[in-house]
Structure 1
Amino acid sequence: MMIRLCMVLVAVMFVFVSKISAQSNSEELQEKRGQKVLRKLEELLEVKELLDLLKEDSNDMNDEQDNKRTEETIELGTSEELDEERRDYSTDYDCAHRDHPDYGCVGKCIATSKCPGNHYISNLCPNKPADVKCCFTANSDSQCTSGFSDGHCIATSQCPNNDYVSNYCPTKPPGVKCCRSKPTDTCPNDGCGSSLKTKACNVKSNSNIRLRDNNSVFNSKGNNDGADATSNIADMCNGKKSKRSSYDCVISGVTVPTPGGWVCIQAKVLDYLIALANDGHDILVNTITGACHSKTSKHYSGLAVDIQKESSASNYQAWMTKCTSMGGTAYGPGDAGHANHVHCHFP
C-alpha cells in the first residue's frame, strides 16, 4: 500500500514537474518569440523612418526641379513663344550685313507687324516667309523709334558724337540710349581677312578698272540684286563677303539656279585685275561672283572673272595671256559662249 502511494506520489510529482518544466519552456519560447517580434517591429520602424526620409528628399528634389522649370519658363518663355522667336529672329546673311544709311548693320528678319515704325527693307530675308522682312529697329523701344525718325536703341559707345537721348529706351540696360545718328561698329566682322580687303580696295580705287553696277544687262532678274561687280568689290573693300545672285537662269535652253549666299573673291582674281590695270589695260569687269553662269562655275567660288570686249580694238588676247601666265585658264572670242568677253578662272 505504502509502495503504491509512493508510486502515485512520484507519478504526481513527475506530472507536476513536467507541467512546470513545460510551462517554463513555453514561457521561455514565447519570450524569445516576443523578442524576435519586437526586433522585427524595430527593423520595420527603421525602414519606415528611412522611407520617410527618402520621400522627403524626393519631394525636395521635385520642388527644386519644379522651381527650376518655372524659372526657365519665366526667363525663356513658352515653347510657342520660343518657336515664334526662332522664326522671327533667325536672320539671313543679307539682312545682318546690310549697312542701313540711318541705322547701320543692325537688321533682323522679323514679321513686319513687329517692326517698330515699319523700318524694314524687303528682299533681304529670302529664306523666310513672305511677311518676314529685314527690320532695323527690332531691338528698339517704341519711345525711341516714334520720338525720333532715325532713333535707335544702341550702346552709347556706338553713337557718333554722343548724339543720344536718355530715358527713351526704358527696357534696355543703362549703357543703351536712343541714338539719333547712324551707329558705328555694328557691321559683323566676318569678312575675308585684311589682305583680301586691301586688294579689293585697290581694285575699287584703280582708274583703269571699271565695274558693272547692275546685272540686269545679263538677266532681267538681276536688276539691283546686289551681286553686280561694283557691289562685289565694294562689299569686299568694306570687310564683307561678295554676294552671289539668287534666281533661276536659262542657259542654252536649260534652267540653271544660281546658288545665292556670299563668298570671298580669291586673291588670284584680285591680283589678276590689278596686274592688267598696272600693264595699262583699261578694262570693264562684267561679273565676278554674281549673275548667271554654269552650275559648277568657278565664279560661284570667287575664282573667276569676266571682262567685256568693248570693241574690236580691245586687246583681249593680252588679257588671256596674262591669265594663263598667272596660272589661270582663259576663254575668249573664238571659244563657244565667249564671243564678247574674256573669262579667266583659277584653280
Structure 2
Amino acid sequence: MRFNRFRAAVAVTAAVFAVTTGTVAAAQPGPGQHGTPAKHHTPPKLASESARLARAILNDKGITYAGTHDGGSDRASLPRQNLVDTANGRLAKTSPWGHKRGTRAALNAQMLNGVLKLNTQYHFKFQVSEFVGGRHTSGSKHYQGRAVDVNWINGRHVGNGAAHHALMTACHKLGANLVLGPGDPGHAKHVHCQW
C-alpha cells in the first residue's frame, strides 16, 4: 500500500514537471493495454544522379530533341522520352530496329553531365538526335547509354555550317573519350560524343 502511494506521488510529480516545462509526451500503452502501433514511415528513395541530371536537362531551355529517328518511327525511344524515363527512375528504351531491338539501357551520369554542361558551361544551344534510340553499329556505346548524338548547334545543322569543331572540343574537355563528327565515316550530319 505504501509502495503504491509512493508510485502515485512520483507519477503526479512527473506530470506536474512535464506540464510546467512543456515536455508532455504522448501516452504510450503499457503492458496488457491495447494501442495503435506507431506507423513507421519509410524515407523516400533518393533519386539517382542520372535521374537528377535527366530532370535538369529536361528543364534546360537551350537543349532540344529530335522528334523523329533516321531509321524509323518509335516515340518510346526518342531522346526526350529517354530522358523522361530516366528522370522517373526507369531505363531508356532502344528502338525496335537495329542491333538492340526494344531493349532497355541506363543513361550514364557522366554522359548526362556532359550534355548538360555543353549548355550551362559552354553555352551551346543544340538538339540531341539520339541517346539509346535509333540505329548504331553493333558495339555502339549508345546501346549502353554512354553516348549522345547532336545534329543542330546554335541554330545550324551539323554539316551545314554548324560550329561542330567547337562542340567536339567541349565534349573532349568534359571527359568524352570518343568524339566523331563531319569528316569521320557515318558522321557527316551529326556529332557523336561518348563517355
Q: What is the CA distance between 1:224 and its match in structure 2?
A: 2.8
- Counterpart of 2:140 in structure 1 is 297
Q: Secondary structure of the equivalent of 1:292?
A: coil
RMSD of the alignment, in Å? 2.1
Q: Secondary structure of the equivalent of 2:76?
A: coil
Letter in 2 for 1:229: P
8 Å Cα contact 1:198-1:237 kept in structure 2: yes
Q: What is the CA distance between 1:290 and its match in structure 2?
A: 0.7
Report how many aligned residue pairs link the two structures: 145
2:131 pairs with 258, 278, 288, which one? 288
- Give ranges in structure 1 of 5+ residues lacking alignment: 1-189, 250-256
2:175 pairs with 327, 332, 335, which one? 327
Q: Secondary structure of the equivalent of 1:226?
A: helix
Deviations 1:325-346 (A, max 9, x none): 2221100011111111100111
Displaced runs of 4+ in structure 1, greater than 4 A?
Answer: none
More helix by share: 1
- For 1:275 and 1:313, the matched residues in 2 are separated by 22
- Counterpart of 1:211 in structure 2 is 65
- Counterpart of 1:200 in structure 2 is 54
Q: What is the CA distance between 1:301 and its match in structure 2?
A: 0.3
Q: What is the CA distance between 1:264 and its match in structure 2?
A: 0.9
Q: Secondary structure of the equivalent of 2:128?
A: strand
Letter in 2 for 1:339: A
8 Å Cα contact 1:264-1:302 kept in structure 2: yes
Task: Please show how residues 254-265 of structure 1 align to structure 2 within 5 Å.
Answer: 257-265=99-107
- Counterpart of 2:87 in structure 1 is 237
Q: What is the CA distance between 1:225 and its match in structure 2?
A: 4.2
Q: Secondary structure of the equivalent of 2:182?
A: coil
Instruction: Give the direction of change, closer, same or farther, for the CA distance of 1:193–1:297 in structure 2 (3 Å limit).
Output: farther
Q: Secondary structure of the equivalent of 1:213?
A: coil
- For 1:213 and 1:241, the matched residues in 2 are separated by 19
Task: Please show how residues 170-185 of structure 1 align to structure 2 within 5 Å.
Answer: none
- For 1:276 and 1:209, the matched residues in 2 are separated by 9
1:276 pairs with 118, 139, 147, which one? 118
8 Å Cα contact 1:213-1:231 kept in structure 2: no
Deviations 1:1-38 (A, max 9, x none): xxxxxxxxxxxxxxxxxxxxxxxxxxxxxxxxxxxxxx
8 Å Cα contact 2:114-2:175 kept in structure 1: no
- Give ranges in structure 2 of 5+ residues lacking alignment: 1-44
